[in-house]
Amino acid sequence: MNYYVSLGYSQGVTTTGTARETTTLTGPGAARQHTLRERNLELVARAVFEVPEPLSRAGVAAATGLARATVSTLVDQLVAAGLVRELPAVTGGRAGRPAVPLVPAPRSVVGLGLEVNVDYLGVRVLDLTGDAVAERVVPGAFHDSDPAVVLSRLGDIAREVSDGVAASGMTVAGARLALPGLVDPRTARLEVAPNLGWSSLEPVPLLGLGALDVRVANEAKLAALAELAGGSDVVAPDSFIFVSGDVGIGAAIVVDRELFLGERGWNGEIGHVVVDPSGPRCSCGAFGCLEQYAGKEAMMRAAGLPPDAPLGSLVTLLADADADLPAGRALGSALADFVNLFDVSTIVLGGAYTELLPWLRADVEAVLADRVLAAPFVDLQVRAAQAGPQAALTGGAREVLQVVLADPAAWV
Amino acid sequence: MNYYVSLGYSQGVTTTGTARETTTLTGPGAARQHTLRERNLELVARAVFEVPEPLSRAGVAAATGLARATVSTLVDQLVAAGLVRELPAVTGGRAGRPAVPLVPAPRSVVGLGLEVNVDYLGVRVLDLTGDAVAERVVPGAFHDSDPAVVLSRLGDIAREVSDGVAASGMTVAGARLALPGLVDPRTARLEVAPNLGWSSLEPVPLLGLGALDVRVANEAKLAALAELAGGSDVVAPDSFIFVSGDVGIGAAIVVDRELFLGERGWNGEIGHVVVDPSGPRCSCGAFGCLEQYAGKEAMMRAAGLPPDAPLGSLVTLLADADADLPAGRALGSALADFVNLFDVSTIVLGGAYTELLPWLRADVEAVLADRVLAAPFVDLQVRAAQAGPQAALTGGAREVLQVVLADPAAWV
DNA sequence: CGTAATAGTTCATTCGTACAACAAATGCGG
DNA sequence: CCGCATTTGTTGTACGAATGAACTATTACG
């Protein structure tokens, strides 16, 4: 099943009949003729967008099971809408009329990724081909900042960038704002972001982006979506646990290429999983949370560095000394709980862990092998994240484009 | 989103065209005219089946958004197929032609729930109304038993019961076998069931049930599905964590009334979540697993009872003494991890915990309040299971009927 | 008893896909 | 160099399913 559920918008259908008969049914509503068309349009769009090498109309027909005639009309609509482009017919060494390769149209519809993090603001624009069309990342220090000021500044940058791409004829389909904290994508509320010192606010209006469709999500969740694009040589797994280590530690679960969000999008709080109840007190009030062992500040302190030293200093120190990070066993323990509870066999380590993985891997894998009940029967994989810097920006923009892809009919 | 994904059968569509064009697309395949009908049939069937009081054709039309004419033809098909029955028209105090109430047809199509557990074998048959049409539960001791012998015996009982209901004119739609261990519903393999002493086998053929569609699942998963029926007065939550405590401790996650299974259905292994790394060694080899604090044997031992004493003896002992169970804090700690990782706010305690809840609740709730990061923003609920004894039998049978409901077109 | 109201049915219309025939464009063998 | 097989893409007809409007059936109410 691969229906894409856009962030925070579930599809309950509430129908009200006469006074006596008011009933709510969840799930997709009544299917009409145009529902057929919408679904097949999506099918064709996915075939064009998600296949490694370009397909022809006939190829799409074969891949989808639709009749060639049907595919032709659908493709024509996508081309007319500017979502798909025809490449020159390729007359490659075999008989028959040459096929017209179909590719996602570059620089047509784009998605905006926005992010506020502790040490930067960022905006990134991706088009349907996955290319970064524009980008601005502004370093800063936003610990204990004023959300109104910071978000309005980010909004200014976003508007600037957005106006730029719009001036080149591209359509901005929407934006996703990544925040490091408890965010409910459905209500677009931020409950608390400890490292920003923000709490209980609605970030979207503060951006001042007018009618643009802006949704909010946790930073680790969007970074996980960025992983789905895969690396240059590494193909992305369909299901994985993504752990983003920084001052706080967040995680996301991707199953069958879809984010699992729980009831409110507040899942993946692996930073506060119990590692040792007799351990140090955490900022959350509990004792022995993972963050106290494998948070950035704890790792710095354990290495004899000041807690706010740059990550690079820890890396050079580790590269010289030939010792593993003590955080490895703690991280392994929390990950083992995660895997025992979720049954997802690939773990992608992002944020600070990406660089630190060489000094974590041995301990993490050893503890996983010890503690994961299914370890004898599964090939547990621990990988470094591939998505590059400010992954949440990429993931947010990708999420916007996924919504376009899920309903191309809205764009024809 | 409420598409029902039947246990272990995901719907990847692989289409093979000519030699050059072989492409795989996940998700539902091409939508044709008959797809429309199937989907609307499902919609109508769900409206009839999942609504508290009977709807008329007109009521279904209002609830689904379909035209009355369409609903009429669809309902007629369901009635002809024997899945839906018309009650006598009710001429209740208002003007107009009296409505014909539609209800699930009793004793027409039934589902079989099967279970092997440590202390019993069971078979239960449910019809579309949710009534138990037949049932056999045979006590026994199956610790370290021979799977071939036990499963063949269960198969015999199942065949007997199944033949009985078939003789009364009912159609058996399929069966689900619940097992206490690591089971992959997709491959129908049991990897290991520690408390039965079983490992690495394919249970379905050993039942000897011939062509009947039998699928396999973990006991806690199916028991969780039983919870969805709700209690006599309590309405079931749409999303919850179900924890089944016994010798081992298993759990299941239900989100939007659907089981979350992870990659292989091996999730929910909360019994081996870390409570205290300096704690006692677990049967799994690791240290300080929840099972060592809140497994049935550990709880018995902590209360000064023999580990294999019946649960009732612990209950009477607790009822006399006015003390909480020490397991409460450990259980709370593991549940806090679960909630932090999943973001599901309702916890249903099943198995032995159902009866023990009064002596667990205070500690569980206190630890949850301490350790769950989102606790200040959510109303965390801890409830006792409602589904009654051998819940997995009920859940398994329900699961079969859900598959019928998801594709009534197959029965018309 | 007539009228309003509600449930259910009948039928022409509309829309989207399938199938088959056809047109277009190429490679290849003689 | 030409005819033929081959593959792509298009055109036109047929079919299936939902719709809305009109119609029938059955009740309550004044």
In A, residues 200-219, which contact B (CB 8 Å cutoff)?
none
Q: Where are the alpha helices (DSSP H) in A89-189?
A: 147-167
The Cα angle at residue A56 between residues A51 and A62, in degrees rounded to 5: 75
Nucleotides of chain C within 7 Å of a protein C-beta? 4-11, 14-21, 23-28
Q: Does B79 touch chain A (CB under 8 A)?
A: no
Q: Which CATH number fits domain B237-384: 3.30.420.40, 3.40.50.1980, 3.30.70.100, 3.30.1490.20?
A: 3.30.420.40
**Range with the lowest mean pLDDT among B82-96, B164-178, B252-266?**
B82-96
A255–chain B Cβ distance below 8 A for any pair: yes
Name the residue of chain A whose CA is nearest to B378's CA. Answer: A264
d(CA A403, nearest CA chain B) in Å = 15
pLDDT for residue B150: 98
Better-scored residue on pLDDT, B315 or A323: B315
Q: List, for residues B253-284, the tens digit of each pLDDT value.
A: 999 999 999 999 999 999 999 999 999 999 99
pLDDT at residue B21 in the model: 32
Report the nearest residue to nucleotide C4, CA vs C1'. Answer: B95
The tokens of A230 are what? 């895969």
Token pair belonging to B210: 């011939």
CATH architecture classification, A109-226+391-411: 2-Layer Sandwich (3.30)
pLDDT computed for residue A22 by the predictor? 36
Both tokens of residue B387? 């589904």
Tokens of B272: 């081996």
Give me the DSSP letters along B280-332.
PBPTTS-BSBTHHHHSHHHHHHHTTS-TTS-HHHHHHHHHHS----THHHHHH
Residue A231: what pLDDT?
A: 77
CA of A59 to C1' of D5 (A): 20
Q: Which chain A residue shows the shortest CA-CA distance from B259?
A: A342
Q: Which of residues 65-94 of A touch strand D (CB under 7 A)?
A: 68-69, 72, 76, 89, 94
Contact B131, B109 (CB under 8 A): no
Of B400 and A233, more confident: B400
Q: Do A343 and B265 touch (CB under 8 A)?
A: yes
Tell me the per-residue pLDDT of A290-317, one tens digit each, with 9 for 90 and over: 999 999 999 999 999 999 899 999 999 9
Contact B212, B174 (CB under 8 A): yes
Q: Does A402 touch chain B (CB under 8 A)?
A: no
Evaluate if residue B315 carries a pLDDT over 70.
Answer: yes
Percent of chain B with pLDDT over 90: 86
Which CATH number applies to A31-104? Answer: 1.10.10.10
Minimum-distance residue to D21 (CA–C1'): B69
* Fold match, B109-226+391-411 / B237-384: yes
Region B370-397 average pLDDT: 96
pLDDT for B10 beyond 80: no
Structure tokens at B338: 């679960």
| Mean pLDDT, rounded, for B130-157 | 97
Per-residue pLDDT reduced to its tens digit, B35-66:
999 999 999 999 999 999 999 999 999 999 99
Residue B327 has pLDDT above 50, yes or no: yes
Residues of A in contact with B334 (CB under 8 A): 274
Residue at A60: amino acid letter: V
Domain ranges of chain B: 31-104, 109-226+391-411, 237-384
Establish how many alpha carbons lie within 13 A of residue B38's alpha carbon, considering only the half-sphere containing its beta carbon.
13
- Confidence check: pLDDT of B251 > 50: yes
Residues of chain A with pLDDT below 50 are 1-5, 9-26
- Contact state of A11 with B1 under an 8 Å Cβ cutoff: yes
**Are B298 and B308 contacting, i.e. CB atoms less than 8 angstroms apart?**
no
Residues of A in contact with B340 (CB under 8 A): 267, 269-270, 272-273
Say yes or no: Cβ of A73 under 7 A from any atom of strand C.
yes
> pLDDT at position B231, please?
78
Question: What is the DSSP code (8-state) at residue B229?
Answer: T
Q: How far apart are CA A195 and CA A116, in angstroms?
A: 11
The answer to whether B380 and B371 are in contact (CB under 8 A) is: no
B31: CB within 7 A of chain C nucleic strand = yes
Q: Is the CB of B312 under 7 A from strand C?
A: no
B32 touches strand D (CB under 7 A): no
B96 touches strand C (CB under 7 A): yes
